Amino acid sequence: MEQVVIMDVTPRDGLQDAEGYVPLEDKVALIQGLVEAGVHSVEVTSFVHPTWIPLLADGDRLVPLLRRLKGEWIALAPNERGVERAVASGVSGVTLVASASESHNRANLNHSRTETLAILRRAAERAHSAGLKVRGAVSTAFDCPFEGTVPIASVMTVVEAYLAMGVAEIGIADTIGTANPAVVKERVRTVNDVRGTVPLSLHLHDRYGWALANVSIAYEYGVRHFETALGSLGGCPYAPGAAGNLDTEKLVSFFDAQGINTDIDLARLATVRERLFTVLSQRLSVPE
């Protein structure tokens, strides 16, 4: 069977704006459960300033607790300071992030896009020097909550900057969940023209229920890496009205039905999701 790679982003994107805090021990159990279900790569936390994302302020304590587990641990890092924290924690790799749209980049990162890319060049150099895998994510690669449709030239500015940084993977994100198959085809084909052997990952949110159709067209044009979250959790605190992520179980079922291998056990995945939702239902406050 053909193979796809699914990175589960529940512990980061799924929990960053959840209605309730997930205690450290439950985050470890979540990540362990994902690994035992067959997920090879997990985005486990975000090394941003704790005041920006309070629900993920415990990343420095979380990652060392994962060292006994198998798997690839990825953390989002928006700058050099984030990379330094990632290096100290012991993650496998970092995801650098910049937005294709100027207004979302300022809302999300408090810098112009040009300033952000300069910051990320230095962050990538530090991550490479520490032996970390470096991924480059392009937020608002389709539509922006403030500007509407994002020109493809703006997306390619960020993609080409990442390639110049020597990233190991490029990810394009449908941050607000409004992309359709025609636009996905256009953007994937354009990125394919420049990425060479660097894998392309698709991070989809699902406002209109089009995410699986977008997966199908992306797969047809060579995308084999996808990012998802349990129970369609997640959004973006700096993108008003952002929809939840493409559901991990839904995507695994979609590929299973077509004989496309993911290595992921749906029954185990359902157990992990049920346990997580039990914790979230308590709506716990962030510890002081």
Active site residues per annotation? 236
Tell me which residue of 7, 35, 104, 94 sits closest to 59, measured CA to CA: 94
Burial 94-127 (b: 16+ CB within 10 A, else e): bbbbbbbbbebbbbbbebebeebbebbeebbebb
Give the contacts of 87 (CB within 8 A, at least 6 positions apart). 126, 127, 130, 132
CA gap 250, 135 in Å, rounded: 25
Whole-number Å distance between alpha carbons of 90 and 190: 35
Give the pairing of strands 143-144 and 133-139.
Answer: unpaired
Instruction: Match 């990442």 to its residue by tokens.
Output: 162
